[in-house]
Structure 1
Amino acid sequence: MQVELLYHTPDPERAIATAARLCYAPVGAAELMETMPEERMRSVLSTILASGHLSTLEHASYTFAVDGVSRALTHQLVRHRIASFNQQSQRYVKFSDGLECVKPPTVAADAQAEAVFDRAIEAAVAAYRQLLDAGIPAEDARYLLPNAAESKIVITMNVRELLHFFSLRCCNRAQWEIRDMAHRMLELARPTAPFIFADAGAPCVRGACPEGKMSCGNPYPQVRRG
């Protein structure tokens, strides 16, 4: 898996604080953006995060490029509806020269399970190629491709949705592959807005686990704002 931060709103914390402060300021956003002291900016951010008035977080966004993830992951990912996605198409991209697949660690750790997995993938890919050779359009032959098939996707989320995404997908109860991706995305986002993302991640980073009886029982270490 490769995760790259392609782009983000310049100075996202200042942009968010400016949007929040504008509601109560006699001057315009451009002036606030230029003149707001760093200490005041952090005070505004602290207030909106603590109060739950998070609409201003939607004024900053992040775009990630993710390669080498499975279709099983991307089917989960697109459930996050307040986001934009563009994914490598199995309709237009033919995999006649080979198909890379993601193998779950539990499968790779068991020789017998791995052999079963590999045979199934090989059979599916062989059948896919046979359909292509027979003149079947790729958009129809792709019905044979497995969830393990590697894919590429570009993801854009605003900060409000990104925090929600991290809360759900950094949790130990999230599926292993999307959890790995979420942690990598957070590692890239945090340095660009260290105050906003200081305690981003699973809910147990900030307090009690909300999962109740479904809790993993192994909370992440507490993180405090700097």
Structure 2
Amino acid sequence: MEPEVRIIARPQIDYEEVAAYLAEVGGESWLERLDRGELDDAQNLAEFAGRICYRSWEPGLNPNVRRVRTDQDAYLRNILASAHGSVLEHVNFTFVLHGVSRVVTHELVRHRAGTAVSQESLRFVRLDDLPFWFPDWAQEDAELMERATALLEQMEAFQHWMAERFHLDDQGVPFSEKKAKTSFMRRFAPEGVATGLVWTANVRTLRHVIESRTASGAEEEIRLLFGKVADLLAKEAPALFGDYVVEDGAWTPAWRKV
């Protein structure tokens, strides 16, 4: 089973409220310069957060600021280059990760800062089969695949046997009993079984995780997964993720520790 990634939520700006704020502090010309397409809100939000720090909507609002960058790409490149990463924490993307193993999710929870996680619970979800990802090199080994497939089929059969043994599909079985037995049954599933989760992270966190989890020393499946995450984000917000150099699957940013 191939790990899949979809972006299911992204930043959305209320431009009327932004305009009302700027009418009070000045700087309406900044809002007039912006593109307001669906995929622009992430970059616009990062720029908004950065400009409020210095009141740099336009020259003269801050007596210390005589010149401002009017090109968004240049502005955000300067944010990255100066490691002003706190403004990137306002920009969140939410992903649904499908068909990823618990090997991956056990590693992913180590990245706690700036994230939110809701994962499929095998205490409640009973396994009918054991979806599994095999890397290319494993699939090329005929004997390995034969033995691995036989083992997975045996474990799947044991899941079905336990469900019958515990009468989980009989009429009137309390859900509390189903939950207890299902929780026991998951102990006989391999760590490589595919699962799903919703994962939300801000841009500052995403930049760090993409670099660390696509690096050559990272676990193979998580490298595959975050290569896909990075591909999506490079299209969603090129000014925030366009500084990476990709070599042999490793995404290395021009500016680290933002």
Same fold (TM over 0.5): yes
Give 1:7's aligned residue.
Answer: 9
Which of the numbers 78, 98, 101 marks the counterpart of 1:47?
Answer: 78
The answer to whether structure 1 residue 91 and structure 2 residue 123 are counterparts is yes
The CA distance in 2 between the partners of 1:104 and 1:91, in whole Å, is 28
Over the aligned positions, Cα root-mean-square deviation in angstroms equals 2.3
The answer to whether structure 1 residue 174 and structure 2 residue 210 are counterparts is no
Q: Equivalent pairs: percent with the same residue? A: 30
* 1:107–1:203 CA distance, 2 compared to 1 (3 A): closer
* 1:203–1:64 CA distance, 2 compared to 1 (3 A): closer
List, as ranges, runs of 4+ consecutive aligned residues in structure 1 with deviation greater than 4 Å.
Answer: 201-205
The answer to whether structure 1 residue 198 and structure 2 residue 229 are counterparts is no
Which of the numbers 106, 110, 124 marks the counterpart of 2:155?
Answer: 124
The CA distance in 1 between the partners of 2:134 and 2:223, in whole Å, is 15
Q: Residue 89 of structure 1 aligns to which amino acid in structure 2?
A: S
Structure 2 unaligned segments of length 5 or more: list them: 13-40, 58-67, 167-179
TM-score by length of 1: 0.79
- List per-residue Cα deviations over 1:166-197 (Å, max 9, x = no partner): 11112222222111111111111112211110
The CA distance in 2 between the partners of 1:164 and 1:26, in whole Å, is 27
CA contact (8 A) 2:104 2:222 kept: yes
Give 1:23's aligned residue.
Answer: 53
C-alpha displacement of 1:99: 2.6
C-alpha displacement of 1:55: 0.4
Q: Secondary structure at the residue paired with 2:122?
A: coil
* 1:39–1:138 CA distance, 2 compared to 1 (3 A): same
CA contact (8 A) 1:7 1:64 kept: yes
Q: Secondary structure at the residue paired with 1:114?
A: helix
Q: How does 1:209-220 map to 2 (within 5 A)?
A: none
Larger relative contact order (CA 8 Å, sep ≥ 6): 2
Q: Residue 229 of structure 2 aligns to which amino acid in structure 1?
A: M
Structure 1 unaligned segments of length 5 or more: list them: 28-36, 209-226
Q: Secondary structure at the residue paired with 2:239?
A: coil
The CA distance in 2 between the partners of 1:93 and 1:58, in whole Å, is 33
How many residues were matched structurally?
198
CA contact (8 A) 2:214 2:223 kept: yes
Q: How does 1:70-89 map to 2 (within 5 A)?
A: 70-82=101-113, 83-89=115-121
Which of the numbers 102, 112, 129 marks the counterpart of 2:133?
Answer: 102
The CA distance in 1 between the partners of 2:254 and 2:6, in whole Å, is 26
CA contact (8 A) 1:125 1:144 kept: no
Larger radius of gyration: 2
The CA distance in 1 between the partners of 2:42 and 2:255, in whole Å, is 25
Q: Secondary structure at the residue paired with 1:195?
A: helix
The answer to whether structure 1 residue 140 and structure 2 residue 184 are counterparts is yes
TM-score by length of 2: 0.70
CA contact (8 A) 1:85 1:153 kept: yes
CA contact (8 A) 1:189 1:197 kept: yes
Q: Secondary structure at the residue paired with 1:23?
A: helix
C-alpha displacement of 1:57: 0.4
